[in-house]
Amino acid sequence: MRLKLVPQETNWDFFSRPKLWLGISVVLIVLAFVSFGLRGLNYGIDFRGGTTIRTESAQPVDVGAYRDALTPLELGDVVISEVFDPTFDADQNVAMVRIQAQEGQESVTAEVVAQVEAALQSVASDIRFVSVESVGPKVSGELIQTAAIAVVLAIAAVLVYIWLRFEWQFALGAVAALVHDVILTIGVFSELQIKFDLAIIAALLTIVGYSLNDTVVVFDRVRENLMKFKKRPLREVLNLSINETLSRTFMTSLTTLLALIALFVLGGDVIRGFVFAMIWGVVVGTYSSIFVASTVLLMLGVKRDWSKSQDTTGNQFGNVDA
């Protein structure tokens, strides 16, 4: 007896309400923009500069007392938050202290860190500083720039690759899905105010890769079916292709999610935000490859006469599967 996520034969109509699906996506994108505009991202020090200190003590964390101890130092914006995690031991109380970048300094000076440490020590005598990280405003500005470049570059490279391997309509469909995923991910991060740092950029790019993976598998089948059923309407061919690959789409998404959820629960708080981004990306990416990429492809239409193009144009990079 086999585990089956979807029936052997499916014949669901994914395009019965194209406007509804696109509408949902558009609404979500608008919401993401609104959230981004109103709340903004909770940038980590990688992107805004400043210092974070991670403390550990056997005594429970008293955020108020920590704040009182640091106020006299006049360090500007100081954020203190307690960290909870199921992987911590019973007497492991962790807090994060974030200090803004100080005026006119490239990096927080050792004196400031020493002052903060001394002040906290006066509140909790057994406190230990398990990590101290400072990023100067100069670097953080550059980091945000390279991060943006990385995301744009990745999307552009993919656009070109799919264009070469398929047709421009496919490339646009795939990129629409990618942009959709990236925007929704950023929206979730701004809405939930999860720390947005360099690792999240890596997660974003992985989402790009994953979402694409899904889209390409569907498109590959679309291309095959377009050659097989030359006369059937595009809508039917798309629907057939999605149905044929549906079982695989669910299998892969589920194994990936299984692995990611294990990491989310057990991997510790340091990478939880990163893993959350990827889980979200897998869910959104799976949705978008069916409902965004294919719908866009349906709306753009696609050239039907594939048999000729194959040997005359250079659109296909040789035939890899030959």
Partner 1 sequence: MLQIDLWKRVLIWALCAAGLFMALPNAFYSRVEGVNDARAAIELQGATAELTDQAAGWPSFLPASLVNLGLDLRGGAHLLAEVRVDEVYEARITALWPEVRDTLRPLRSEVGTIRRQNAPADELHVKIGNPAGMQAAMAAVRALAQPVVSLTAAGEQDLTVRGQDDVLIVSLSDAEKLATDERTVQQSLEIIRRRIDEVGTREPTIQRQGSDRILIQVPGLGSAQELKDIIGTTAQLTFQPVISRTTDGSTDAGIGEEVLPSLDESGVFYVLEENPVVTGEELTDAQPSFDQNGRPAVNFRFNPSGARKFGDYTAENIGNPFAIVLDDEVISAPVIQSHIPGGSGIITGNFTVEESTNLAVLLRAGALPAGLDFLEERTIGPELGADSIEAGKIATIVAFAAVLVFMALSYGLFGIFANVALILNIALIFGLLSLIGATLTLPGIAGIVLTVGMAVDANVLIFERIREELKTARGPARAIELGYEKALSAIVDANITTFITAVILFAVGSGPVRGFSITLGLGILTSVFTAIFVTRLIIVMWFERRRPKTIEV
The reply on whether position 112 binds partner 1 by CB under 8 A is no
**Can you tell me the distance from the alpha carbon of 41 to that of 151, in angstroms, rounded to the nearest whole number?**
17
Q: What string marks each residue from 285 to 314 as x (binds partner 1 by CB under 8 A) or -? A: ------------------------------
Among 19, 72, 314, 320, binds partner 1 (CB under 8 A): 320
Whose structure tokens read 């708080």?
269
Specify the stretch interacting with partner 1 by CB under 8 A; choose among 65-73, 130-138, 233-241, 291-299: 130-138
Q: Which of 150, 179, 240, 300 binds partner 1 (CB under 8 A)?
A: 150
Q: Which of 85, 87, 107, 99 is nearest to 129 (CA)?
A: 99
Under the binding rule (CB under 8 A), the answer on residue 227 touching partner 1 is: no
Residue closer to partner 1 by CB (options 31, 271) is 271
DSSP symbols for 200-241 = HHHHHHHHHHHHHHHHHHHHHHHHHHHHH-SSS-HHHHHHHH
Residue 90 contacts partner 1 per CB under 8 A: no
Determine which residue in the list 27, 59, 128, 303 makes contact with partner 1, applying CB under 8 A. Answer: 128
Measured from the CB atom, the residue of 35 and 54 that comes closer to partner 1 is 54
Report how far Cα 234 is from the mean position of its chain's Cα atoms: 31
| Nearest 10 degrees: Cα torsion 100, 203, 191, 252 | -160
Binding residues for partner 1 restricted to 261-290, rule: CB under 8 A: 262-263, 265-268, 270-271, 274-275, 278
**Interface positions, 235-254, toward partner 1 (CB under 8 A):** 244-245, 247-248, 251-252, 254
Least distance CB 231 / partner 1 (angstroms) = 20
Specify burial of residue 178 (Cβ count, 10 A radius: 0-12, 13-18, 19+).
buried
DSSP string, 98-160: EEPPPTT-SS--HHHHHHHHHHHHHH-TT-EEEEEEEE-HHHHHHHHHHHHHHHHHHHHHHHH
6 belongs to the binding site for partner 1 (CB under 8 A): no
**Residue 74 found at the interface with partner 1 (CB under 8 A):** no
Q: CB of 34: closest distance to partner 1 in angstroms?
A: 28
Interacting residues of 138 by C-beta distance below 8 A, sequence separation 6+: 106
- Helix H or strand E encompassing 50: strand 50-57
Instruction: Compute φ and ψ for 98, nearest 5 degrees.
Output: -115, 130
Judged by CB under 8 A, which of 95, 221, 286, 287 binds partner 1?
A: 221
Stretch that binds partner 1, among 14-22, 29-37, 212-220, 305-313 (CB under 8 A): 212-220
**Among 24, 65, 132, 179, interactor with partner 1 by CB under 8 A:** 132
Determine the interface stretch with partner 1 among 58-66, 187-195, 197-205, 307-315 (rule: CB under 8 A).
197-205
Q: Is the CB of residue 76 less than 8 Å from the CB of residue 102?
A: yes
Cβ proximity to partner 1, 35 vs 171, nearer residue:
171
Query: Could you give the CA distance from residue 196 to residue 215 in angstroms, rounded to a whole number?
Result: 26
Q: What are phi and psi of 172, to 5 degrees?
A: -65, -40
H/E stretch holding 254 reads: helix 234-266
Residue 296 in contact with residue 173, Cβ under 8 Å?
Answer: yes
Cα 188–192–195 angle (5° rounding)? 95
Please say which residue, 118 or 259, places its beta carbon nearer to partner 1: 259
Q: In whole angstroms, how close is the CB of 141 to partner 1 at the nearest point?
A: 11
Shortest CB 253 distance to partner 1, Å = 9
**Binding of partner 1 by 129 (CB under 8 A):** yes
Residue 125 or residue 255: which is nearer to partner 1 going by CB?
255
Provide, rounded to whole angstroms, the least separation between the CB of residue 293 and partner 1: 13
